[in-house]
Each structure stands twice: as structure tokens, then as C-alpha cells.
Structure 1
């Protein structure tokens, strides 16, 4: 998909597109940032890269199905030529999911889970702490909980 978007947005006219392993990419990204070179790359939020670097999102046109045709390689050998992306992606959200039956089996737990909401920045910071800094997940979450008691109290219905 991103190869098509790079072509259709005209990015390849000023930056050479590459595809590499994620670890290799982040090493190259660090080198480029250190050298103050321009880099355009696909990334979503939440992601640790936002806690690691000052990343600016490219303004894209809002999603329009008419400008978004993506043919998968396993559907057609000529997928690249037949695909067209001239619009941003559909907005996706990350949500806490649980079984509908939890509402009758454990209504307090379901109520708690339905109230959990974290900002993308907070989630990016947590992934940075665990992925980049190597902090234990339980420790990172405990630290976040301790620093965000008011938020957690709201989830628990204490506020």
C-alpha cells in the first residue's frame, strides 16, 4: 500500500523510496536525524518513534473511497499499476475489547474496561519505555498508573 501512496503522492520525485527491516530502518532514521537529513516514512500513532523523535505528520487529504483503490498482489499480478491512492487512510482506532457476556458475568469489570481511554502520546511513551529503554512492561505500567491516579480513578468511577 505504501509503495502505491509514495508513487501517487509524488514522494519519489524528491526522496528515494526504500523498504527494509524495521530494525535497519530505525538505525537509518537515527543516522538521518543526526545528519539533519529529510526523511518521510509511514508511521502510526501510538508508536514509540513519537516519544523518541519530534515527528511531524504529513497533512493528507481526508479519506475518500473514490481516491483509494488498493489491489493486493495475490489478487492481480498487475496490482501496482491498477492501484491508486490519492487520499489519506481510513481513520482507525485502538479500543479495549472484551466479551459481550462479561457485561452479565462481571458487570463491574465490563464497566471498568469500557472506561479505559489513553492518549496516543501516553501509549507511545509506554512503548518507548519498554521497546527502546528496555523497561519491564509491569514496571512501566506501574509507573504510569502512579503518575496518572486521577485518570485511573475516573476509570474506576471514583471521580
Structure 2
């Protein structure tokens, strides 16, 4: 779950752009709220931009994996953070049926991988190169993994991507599933405070990437052949000897959206958000205890240059 340019990008606002019709401003635009904080941030920034343009916005709690039929039926009008690495088959079905329309990338530089707090590079010289783990696995051993090192993997119901990498690269590590996302954070906090060794499966965007200076192990790029052909990659006897498959994060709307709210459609199509802006907002909410509304309102007030040109281009 990469760090980057600057906030909300201003896409497609070059010459020749003219204001769109506002459409049905008396009817609410319903944006889906899913199960994780980053999505709440992305959706509220988009929604507040629509409000600044003069629209009525409602935030609707929706199950991420099963919301696409409701979107196709026009009961939900937009989803602002869909991950290609974890999206249900129903999404593709609804796009193919014509009820849901993809409207472009959100702009978050997403990444999943094998990671460690920055201080661990002193414990295991040679990091971030993955080969360094061959020689220092013993530094990561615990009573339950001896003589192998311990990798704290995703919770069991998220799959076993970390364990797959340890097998793929033939590394002397035992993957131990975390009990929850909170347990992963507890491991990062403890290792950072004690300056102790930790290898973990993790992702960005996530506020903990910044809070605990988490770094990714360098692995070969995850190409399709890596997951199918053992001969591909550094280990000729196994698949998964590569990084996670690259992930896109994109946006989608009900297919009737652009006809009903033309200016809003332009705003959402041109709205992007990057990790450098989203991650600190996640920290404000999950660590400092601010509400999503409070954190996003403060960001909007301090960053008009990042979102206002998108709204102005569609409405003025």
C-alpha cells in the first residue's frame, strides 16, 4: 500500500476546457464509504470538492466487495478507491454489463511487499537487497520459529503472500500470521521502540509507513510469468520469487453519472490524490483521533492550490 509528487493532481485542465453543465444539483450524489481509513479520506476529499462546486453529497456505507450491483442500479453513484489487487469479480461483470464506468486512476502509488522498520538495516547489513535476508535470518528468530527467522505475515484471512515469498525465494524464514491489522501495527511500534529486528508483510498507503519509517525489501518486479513459471526468476524451482503484482487504484461511477451531473463527472474524473497527502491524513484520524471530516476540512483549507483548479475548470 510510493511517495510522490504533490497532492491532488490537476489532470486534463489544459487549453480548450470549458465549464460543464451542473445537471441535477437538487439530487444528492451518493459516494461509497468502504472499510478502511484511506478510502474514507479519498472519498471525503472528492465529496468536499463536489460540495465546493455546489453539489449535495451523501456518504453511504457500502461493502467493498459487493457494492457494484448497487452502483449499477444507481443506488450508489461513485467509488473513489478501488484496488486492482483486491476487487471482486462482480466489478468486471458490472462494467461489462454497462452499469458501472471506470473513470481513471486515483493516483495513489500503491505497493505491497516484504518490509521492515528502517533501523533493521543496521541489524541486517545489505538490506534492502533481498539476498541479505539469507545471511541474517537468525537475527529475526523467535522461540516459535527457531532456527528460522520470523516473518509477520498478513492475518490468515487475507491470504499468505508473505509465506509465498519466503518459499519462492527459498529464504529461511517462517511466516507467522498476524491476528489483525492492529497486531501488525503493534509489531511495528514495538520493534521501533526497542530497535529490535522485524520483517513484516505490509502495504502503502498506510499511516504507519511514515510513522515508523517502514522500508520495502527490493524484490524482482512481479511479472505474470513469476506466478506461473518456476523457471522465471532467481529460484528455478518455485513460483512467487518476485515482488507482489503491481497494483492500480482507480475510480468508478454509475454509468449514468456523467449525463446526470456533467460538471461533477469532470471533477471526479480529474480528481487524484497521492500518498504524500493521504498518509498523513490517515495518521491524523487513526493515531491522533481526529474525525475524517475534521482532518479533511483542515487539509482542504490548507491546500486550495491542489483541488480548487479542478473544481474551477469544471464549473467556471
Q: Which TM-score band applies after superposition, normalised by the shorter structure?
A: 0.7 to 0.9
Query: Residue 74 of structure 1 corresponds to which residue in structure 2?
Result: none
For structure 1, the residue ranges without an aligned partner over 5 or more in a row are 70-82
Cα distance, 1:155–1:96 mapped onto 2, change above 3 Å: farther
Q: Distance in 2 between matches of 1:134 and 1:105?
A: 37
Bigger mean CA offset, 111-120 vs 29-38: 29-38
Q: Is the 8 A contact 1:47 1:124 kept in 2?
A: yes
Larger Rg: 2
Higher strand share: 2
Query: Residue 18 of structure 1 corresponds to which residue in structure 2?
Result: 176
Q: CA RMSD in A?
A: 2.2
For structure 2, the residue ranges without an aligned partner over 5 or more in a row are 1-160, 229-237
Bigger mean CA offset, 132-141 vs 119-128: 119-128
Q: TM-score when scaled to structure 1?
A: 0.80
Higher helix share: 1
Q: CA deviation at 1:145?
A: 0.7
Q: TM-score when scaled to structure 2?
A: 0.42
Q: Secondary structure at the match of 2:251?
A: coil
In the TM superposition, what whole-angstrom CA distance separates every residue of 1:90-142 from its partner, at most 9, and x where no partner exists? 22122232123111111100000011111112111111111121110000110
Q: Distance in 1 between matches of 2:280 and 2:255?
A: 30
Query: Residue 224 of structure 2 corresponds to which residue in structure 1?
Result: 65
Paired residues in the alignment total 145
Query: Residue 99 of structure 1 corresponds to which residue in structure 2?
Result: 254
**Larger RCO (CA under 8 A, 6+ residues apart):** 2
Q: CA deviation at 1:16?
A: 4.7
Of 56, 76, 79 in structure 1, the residue corresponding to residue 215 of structure 2 is 56
Q: Distance in 2 between matches of 1:117 and 1:96?
A: 9
Of 133, 140, 147 in structure 1, the residue corresponding to residue 288 of structure 2 is 133
Query: Residue 41 of structure 1 corresponds to which residue in structure 2?
Result: 200
Of 153, 163, 168 in structure 2, the residue corresponding to residue 3 of structure 1 is 163
Query: Residue 241 of structure 2 corresponds to which residue in structure 1?
Result: 86
Query: Residue 188 of structure 2 corresponds to which residue in structure 1?
Result: 29
Q: Secondary structure at the match of 1:92?
A: coil
Q: CA deviation at 1:35?
A: 1.4
Q: Secondary structure at the match of 1:84?
A: coil
